[in-house]
């Protein structure tokens, strides 16, 4: 029996050990995702990539592909729930797209468009979150953090610097910076780091770089998230 | 300054970063909180990151990175505490101490706040003061406590009866009623050999007592057969499910059975180390339990070549939790044992093959291990004959709420809810919440249902509500609990439980409309289908159950038939009223009753 499963009726080949989303993205089929990144091992926290496998819902980024699986992804039931999750991420933080430098390059925004999200739907939490401008070259605006922990993983696993971690619990979970002052400027973080170039939203931003690419010509202005398939394209461009 | 008290602690824990939680606990017991300079010292001595310390300390409720007051008072806030008037007592205490709920007093003396159920439901209302349990609170007792705090009397000089924890064992069956000679079960097991012992446990059809009911014998066998450098036994005593307190009683009075059960398991799976994960709320049990372990070591029931069994070396360590319900989930518990945040792991792989330090690990409930000793002593066939077809043996129930005889009841599986109600002296009962907030709400029409895996499975909680209780408020208390205890890892649970709490508060405040009611139902579906672990999956249970069975309790709150604005101008003025000390009619925008602040 060949190593394939079906995804919304399409035959998807996979290598042993691959997860459902890895195989799907390799085959050019988009499954909405935010905390998953092709360069990192499965994480499984945003739950946007949830699919139905043999009728049961599970995150496709942590589920290993198996021959003969019947996977449903692009169906109304799941897209409705993914839209609700995206709305949750919007109301949990403080996201003001029109004034955000990441607008047009932001995966959260692009995913929201992809899922036809027209309003935040839920009541906003309006949390009080800090902005850290202590680093000479980078700005840290945690108002936009969606707690995907990609910067945590990149700094730890690729850069070997461990600049970031998640602290707190529950709705008070937040990004931590590894310095007694908790300031990015007091760490060895640099623009060369993978962690500086992996944030899917507008938390980690390069200073003195605004509107280098005009609105309307940015990554997701040109084509929607589903046409990039995985998240390597937009993050390179930042 | 910090090295003086930290270094001996680090020495005792062998400078082992996986012991971080125990190190932090002992540091805090000495200094009162975890000082930023103390973290520098840990970073230098353990070779760990500052963020590692801060992310762990920030996760658990009983760790403090800022001074929480020299007297840190936490009122248990389970629904049973509320029914006994804990909120009035808390307000009274705040008034007498001149402090605001949740804030530290200006002089750094005291803070008063709430915490999740502390497992004293049969003798509430209860509180924790600097980690020590005070039971059976009354207005008089609160007054005395305020006096003791104001005069800065050390806890050791407080009246001993304040800290008295009763057993309240009301019904004994084979587990609580049998004499036990420490070592008897081990001797029987040695006569059988490891595989035959597992076969007995399988024959007994013993199923996990933590609620999920996985077959214990299969778990032990799976672990025994899993390859690894070492095998581990973990006893889950993180009894965090509100309304449950049977493990506390087992550990207080039947600890030998529990430890012997763990040792049996160690023998069966080939482990050398067992760990008891004791919830932080039961801190007062630490020294007594260590004394039991010491006795067992002296009797060669632990240590090397146990009871002369050549090559069987086994010992048990106690790991104290620090206030996180999620650590009752076995993979989160293992993360916590390893000195990390208690975030549930992605599964598979399961702990039985990849558990503690990624090695094969059996995680069982306290009661499961205790039952294991009965099986070793009297055989699997005997045990299988107790209870019902699919639920062998007996079950301990923690009975609390509206009844005259709250406490511990041991029944063979298959007992009806009605029978338990009769035995505990409950009259005029409206509902029973079986197995806590994540369990089932049983209405009067269903009281003939049975406690068994075939019908109502349970981890042991049995909270009784009579007709005077408002089942909406019960569900709201449970929703607050889940929002407070969500670990924050996955989006649906982290945000969804808080959204659900806010909607329930909106209904409570009299601003709900049918739209909100539909929103609640929709959120519950999302939580159930999208969450990472059981906490999120079951966070909707109390609401779905009470909506289905006690619909009128919700409907009477839907005073507005159509849309209601989420924003209430008069309510928004509340902080201004508080800061000016005004509450006269001119300080309000209209006469409508003022809701409670969400």
Asked if B496 lies within 8 A of A88 by C-beta distance, the reply is: yes
Chain A residues whose C-beta sits inside 8 Å of any chain B C-beta: 42, 44-48, 50, 57, 59, 62, 81, 84-85, 88-89, 91-92, 122-123, 125, 146-147, 162, 164-173, 176-180
Flag whether A88 is in a domain: no
- State the span(s) of chain B assigned CATH 3.40.50.11540: 170-384
Cβ-Cβ contacts under 8 Å, A164 against chain B:
51
Asked if B532 lies within 8 A of A147 by C-beta distance, the reply is: no
Q: Quick one: A63 and A9 in the same domain? A: yes
Cβ-Cβ contacts under 8 Å, A178 against chain B:
49-51
Asked if A62 lies within 8 A of B346 by C-beta distance, the reply is: yes
For B71-166, CATH gives: 3.40.30.10
Flag whether A157 is in a domain: yes
pLDDT at B557: 84
Q: Which residues pair with B395 in a beta bridge?
A: B411
pLDDT at A238: 38
Please give the mean pLDDT across all residues of chain A. 94
Q: Quick one: A176 and A217 in the same domain? A: yes
Q: Quick one: A110 and A216 in the same domain? A: yes
Answer CATH for B394-469 from 3.40.50.300, 3.40.109.10, 3.10.20.600, 3.40.47.10: 3.10.20.600
What's the domain count of chain A?
A: 2
Asked if A177 lies within 8 A of B51 by C-beta distance, the reply is: yes
Q: Last residue of some domain: A21, A43, A74?
A: A74
What CATH number does residue A209 fall under? Answer: 3.30.70.20
The reply to whether B494 touches chain A by the CB within 8 Å rule is yes
Asked if B489 lies within 8 A of A85 by C-beta distance, the reply is: no
A199 half-sphere exposure, CB direction, 13 A CA radius: 25
Which of B483, B530, B566 has its CB closest to that of A85? B530
pLDDT at B510: 83
Q: Give the chain B residue nearest A162 (alpha carbons).
A: B49
Q: Quick one: A173 and A130 in the same domain? A: yes
The shortest C-alpha distance from B574 to chain A (Å) reads 18
The shortest C-alpha distance from A5 to chain B (Å) reads 20
The shortest C-alpha distance from B437 to chain A (Å) reads 18
Q: Give the chain B residue nearest A146 (alpha carbons).
A: B491
Q: Quick one: A105 and A211 in the same domain? A: yes
> How long a stretch of residues is chain B?
598
ipTM above 0.90, yes or no: yes
pLDDT at B560: 67
pLDDT exceeds cutoff 80 at A235: no
Q: What distance in Å separates the CA atoms of residue B434 and residue B451, rounded to the nearest whole number?
A: 9
Q: Give the chain A residue nearest B491 (alpha carbons).
A: A46
Interface contacts (A, B; CB < 8 Å): 112
- State the span(s) of chain B assigned CATH 3.40.30.10: 71-166
Contact B434, B458 (CB under 8 A): yes
More confident residue, B159 or A1: B159
The shortest C-alpha distance from B16 to chain A (Å) reads 20
pLDDT at A233: 55
Give me the residue label for tokens 């009128």.
B552
Core vs surface per residue B32-45: b (16+ CB within 10 A) or e: bbbbbebbebbbeb
Asked if B494 lies within 8 A of A177 by C-beta distance, the reply is: no
Q: Quick one: A69 and A109 in the same domain? A: no
What CATH number does residue A25 fall under? Answer: 3.10.20.740
Flag whether A119 is in a domain: yes
A78, A151, A169, best to mutate vs chain B, most B CBs in 10 Å = A169
Angle among Cα B13, B260, B186 to the nearest 5 degrees reads: 125
pLDDT at B586: 87
> Pick from A141, A143, A39, A93: which is nearest to B498 by CA?
A93
A170, A182, A189, A201, best to mutate vs chain B, most B CBs in 10 Å = A170
The CATH class of B170-384 is alpha beta
The parent domain of residue A25 ranges over 4-74
Q: Give the chain B residue nearest A56 (alpha carbons).
A: B529
Residues 6+ apart with CB under 8 A from B570: B588, B589, B590, B592, B594
Give me the residue label for tokens 């702990």.
B351
pLDDT at B80: 97
pTM recorded for the entire structure: 0.94
Q: What distance in Å separates the CA atoms of residue B384 and residue A48, rounded to the nearest whole number?
A: 45
The reply to whether B479 touches chain A by the CB within 8 Å rule is no
CA dihedral B580, B585, B587, B590 (to 10 degrees): 150
Least confidently predicted of A210-219, A227-236, B145-154, B399-408: A227-236
Q: How far is CA B155 from CA A226, B80, B105, B247, B494, in A?
A: 62, 26, 19, 26, 37
**pLDDT tens readout for residues A110-162:** 999 999 999 999 999 999 999 999 999 999 999 999 999 999 999 999 999 99
Q: Last residue of some domain: A19, A43, A74?
A: A74
Q: Quick one: A45 and A133 in the same domain? A: no
Asked if B59 lies within 8 A of A169 by C-beta distance, the reply is: yes
For B472-555, CATH gives: 1.20.1440.230
Which residue blocks in B151-193 are alpha helix, DSSP H?
Answer: 174-177, 184-192
Beta strands, E only, B453-499 = 461-466
Q: Quick one: A40 and A132 in the same domain? A: no
In tens digits, what is the pLDDT along chain B, a chain of 598 residues? Answer: 899 999 999 999 999 999 999 999 999 999 999 999 999 999 999 999 999 999 999 999 999 999 999 999 999 999 999 999 999 999 999 999 999 999 999 999 999 999 999 999 999 999 999 999 999 999 999 999 999 999 999 999 999 999 999 999 999 999 999 999 999 999 999 999 999 999 999 999 999 999 889 999 999 999 999 999 999 999 999 999 999 999 999 999 999 999 999 999 999 999 999 999 999 999 999 999 999 999 999 999 999 999 999 999 999 999 999 999 999 999 999 999 999 999 999 988 999 999 999 999 999 999 999 999 999 999 999 999 999 999 999 999 999 999 999 999 999 999 999 999 999 999 999 999 999 999 999 999 999 999 999 999 999 999 999 999 999 999 999 999 999 999 999 999 999 999 999 999 989 988 888 888 889 989 999 999 999 998 988 888 899 899 999 988 888 887 766 666 666 788 888 889 989 999 898 888 864 444 444 4
- State the span(s) of chain B assigned CATH 3.10.20.600: 394-469
Residues 6+ apart with CB under 8 A from B370: B175, B250, B254, B257, B258, B261
Q: Quick one: A142 and A175 in the same domain? A: yes
Angle among Cα B302, B307, B312 to the nearest 5 degrees reads: 65
């Amino acid at each position: 029996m060949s190593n394939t499963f079906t995804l919304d009726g399409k035959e998807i080949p996979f290598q042993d050990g691959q997860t459902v989303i890895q195989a799907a993205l390799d085959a050019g089929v988009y499954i909405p995702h935010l905390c998953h990144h092709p360069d990192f091992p499965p994480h499984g926290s945003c739950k946007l990539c949830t699919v139905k496998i043999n009728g049961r819902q599970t995150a496709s980024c942590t589920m290993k592909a198996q021959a003969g699986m019947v996977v449903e992804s692009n169906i109304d039931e799941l897209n409705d729930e993914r839209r609700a999750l995206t709305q949750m991420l919007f109301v949990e933080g403080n996201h003001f797209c029109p004034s955000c430098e990441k607008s047009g390059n932001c995966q959260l925004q692009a995913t929201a468009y992809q899922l036809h999200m027209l309003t935040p739907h839920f009541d906003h939490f309006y949390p009080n979150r800090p902005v850290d401008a202590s680093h000479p070259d980078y700005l840290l605006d945690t108002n936009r953090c969606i707690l995907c922990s990609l910067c945590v993983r990149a700094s730890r696993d690729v850069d070997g610097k461990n600049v970031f971690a998640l602290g707190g619990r529950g709705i008070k979970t937040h990004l931590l910076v590894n310095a007694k002052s908790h300031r990015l400027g007091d760490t060895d973080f640099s623009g060369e780091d993978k962690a500086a170039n992996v944030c899917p939203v507008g938390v980690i931003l390069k200073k003195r770089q605004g509107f280098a690419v005009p609105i309307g010509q940015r990554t997701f202005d040109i084509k929607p998230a589903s046409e990039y398939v995985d998240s390597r394209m937009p993050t390179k461009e930042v | 300054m910090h090295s003086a008290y930290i270094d001996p602690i680090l020495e005792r824990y062998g400078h082992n970063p996986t012991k971080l939680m125990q190190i932090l606990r002992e540091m805090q017991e000495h200094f009162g909180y975890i000082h930023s300079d103390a973290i520098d010292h840990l970073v230098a001595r353990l070779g760990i990151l500052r963020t590692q310390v801060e992310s762990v300390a920030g996760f658990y409720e009983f760790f403090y990175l800022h001074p929480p007051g020299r007297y840190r008072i936490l009122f248990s806030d389970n629904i049973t505490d509320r029914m006994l008037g804990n909120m009035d007592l808390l307000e009274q205490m705040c008034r007498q101490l001149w402090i605001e709920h949740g804030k530290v007093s200006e002089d750094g003396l005291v803070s008063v706040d709430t915490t999740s159920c502390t497992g004293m439901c049969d003798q509430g209302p209860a509180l924790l003061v600097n980690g020590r349990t005070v039971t059976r609170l009354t207005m008089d007792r609160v007054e005395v406590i305020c006096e003791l705090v104001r005069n800065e009397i050390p806890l050791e000089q407080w009246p001993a009866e304040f800290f008295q924890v009763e057993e309240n064992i009301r019904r004994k069956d084979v587990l609580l009623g049998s004499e036990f000679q420490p070592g008897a079960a081990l001797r029987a097991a040695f006569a059988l050999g490891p595989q035959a012992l597992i076969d007995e446990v399988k024959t007994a059809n013993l199923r996990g007592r933590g609620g999920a009911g996985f077959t214990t014998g299969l778990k032990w066998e799976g672990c025994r057969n899993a390859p690894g450098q070492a095998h581990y036994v973990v006893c889950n005593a993180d009894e965090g499910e509100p309304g449950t307190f049977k493990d506390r009683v087992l550990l207080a009075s039947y600890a030998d059975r529990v430890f012997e059960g763990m040792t049996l398991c160690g023998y069966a799976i080939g482990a050398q180390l067992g760990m008891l994960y004791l919830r932080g709320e039961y801190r007062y049990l630490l020294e007594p339990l260590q004394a039991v372990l010491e006795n067992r070591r002296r009797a060669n029931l632990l240590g090397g070549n146990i009871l002369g069994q050549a090559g069987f070396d086994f010992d048990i360590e106690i790991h104290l939790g620090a206030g996180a319900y999620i650590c009752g989930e076995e993979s989160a518990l293992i993360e916590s044992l390893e000195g990390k945040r208690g975030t549930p792991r992605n599964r598979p792989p399961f702990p039985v093959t990849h558990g503690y330090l990624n090695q094969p690990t059996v995680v069982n409930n306290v009661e499961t291990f205790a039952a294991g000793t009965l099986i070793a002593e009297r055989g699997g066939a005997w045990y299988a004959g107790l209870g019902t077809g699919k639920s062998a043996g007996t079950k301990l129930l923690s009975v609390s709420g509206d009844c005259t005889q709250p406490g511990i009841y041991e029944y063979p599986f298959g007992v009806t809810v009605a029978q338990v109600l009769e035995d505990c002296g409950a009259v005029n009962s409206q509902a029973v919440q079986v197995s806590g907030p994540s369990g089932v709400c049983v209405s009067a029409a269903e009281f003939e249902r049975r406690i068994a895996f075939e019908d109502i499975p349970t981890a042991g909680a049995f909270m009784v509500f009579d007709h005077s209780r408002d089942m909406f408020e019960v569900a709201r208390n449970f929703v607050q609990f889940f929002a407070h205890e969500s670990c924050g890892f996955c989006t649906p649970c982290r945000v969804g439980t808080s959204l659900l709490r806010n909607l329930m508060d909106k209904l409570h405040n009299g601003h709900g409309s049918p739209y909100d009611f539909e929103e609640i139902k929709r959120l519950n579906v999302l939580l159930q289908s999208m969450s990472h672990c059981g906490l999120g999956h079951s966070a909707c249970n109390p609401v779905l159950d009470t909506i289905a069975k006690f619909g009128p309790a919700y409907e009477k709150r839907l005073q507005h038939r159509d849309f209601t604005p989420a924003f209430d101008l008069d309510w928004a003025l509340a902080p201004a009223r508080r800061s000016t000390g005004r509450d006269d009619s001119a300080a309000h925008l209209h006469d409508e009753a003022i809701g409670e602040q969400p």
